[in-house]
Amino acid sequence: MIRCDPKKPVWVHLDKLNPINGAPRFAFPEGIDLQSRVPGELHYWQMTTTGHWAGYVSYRISQEGDGGLRMSHLVIETALEPREDAPARRGDPVWEAASLRR
């Protein structure tokens, strides 16, 4: 495990976590949005049994009319990217160790 101290700002690509096969069934604006990119905080990296990295991340899923749902769980590396609006984090060795700089 590689801890992030302090926590690292990341983008979580919900569409990569929740792929939709085919076209949407119908529009439901009051539902939760699982196809967006949301800001999150990376707490630590954990290696999987298949050699991929997963990050333990906290983020909020938006929902029309309320504050949304707060989530914290492991997310596969391909659904995460460093937040470019946090320039102090660029070149961070934790990202380098996880081979996520694209």
Q: Domain boundaries in the chain? A: 2-17+34-97
- This prediction has a pTM of 0.82
Confirm or reject CATH 2.30.30 for domain 2-17+34-97, answering yes or no: yes
Which class for 42: exposed (0-12), middle (13-18), buried (19 or more C-beta within 10 A)? buried
Model confidence over 6-65: pLDDT tens digits? 999 999 999 999 999 999 999 998 889 999 999 999 999 999 999 999 999 999 998 776
